[in-house]
């Protein structure tokens, strides 16, 4: 379950969540919001990324994360991960 799903789930069962768990989730949400500057892409590139993400049933952010990692691995800037590590 991704973080947005966790937040939705928490909102559905707010009475059942401990104060400590809610506090942790809110802090994580605040941290993510602070770090969402993002990458500005040319319009044609942005459209292509969204189209590919839709085809692969991934979010744009997840697809960009995968693409950058694979590019760095291919270029020798990062060690190539084993298939077991990629599943995690």
Q: Would you write out the chain's pLDDT as a tens digit for each of its 88 residues?
A: 577 888 888 888 888 989 998 889 888 888 777 776 677 788 899 899 999 999 999 988 899 999 999 999 999 989 998 765 555 5
3-state secondary structure 48-79: HHHHHHHHHCCCHHHHHHHHHHHHHHHCCCCC
What's the whole-model pTM score?
0.53
Q: For the segment 70-83, what is each residue's pLDDT rounded down to a tens digit? A: 999 999 989 998 76
Amino acid 87: pLDDT? 54
Instruction: List the chain domain ranges.
Output: 1-37, 39-88
């Amino acid at each position: 379950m991704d973080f947005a799903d966790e937040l939705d789930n928490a909102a559905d069962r707010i009475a059942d969540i401990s104060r400590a768990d809610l506090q942790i989730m809110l802090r994580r949400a605040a941290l993510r919001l602070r770090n969402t500057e993002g990458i500005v892409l040319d319009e044609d590139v942005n459209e292509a990324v969204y189209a590919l993400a839709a085809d692969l049933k991934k979010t744009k952010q997840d697809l960009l994360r995968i693409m950058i990692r694979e590019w760095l691995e291919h270029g020798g800037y990062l060690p190539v991960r084993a298939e077991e590590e990629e599943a995690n």
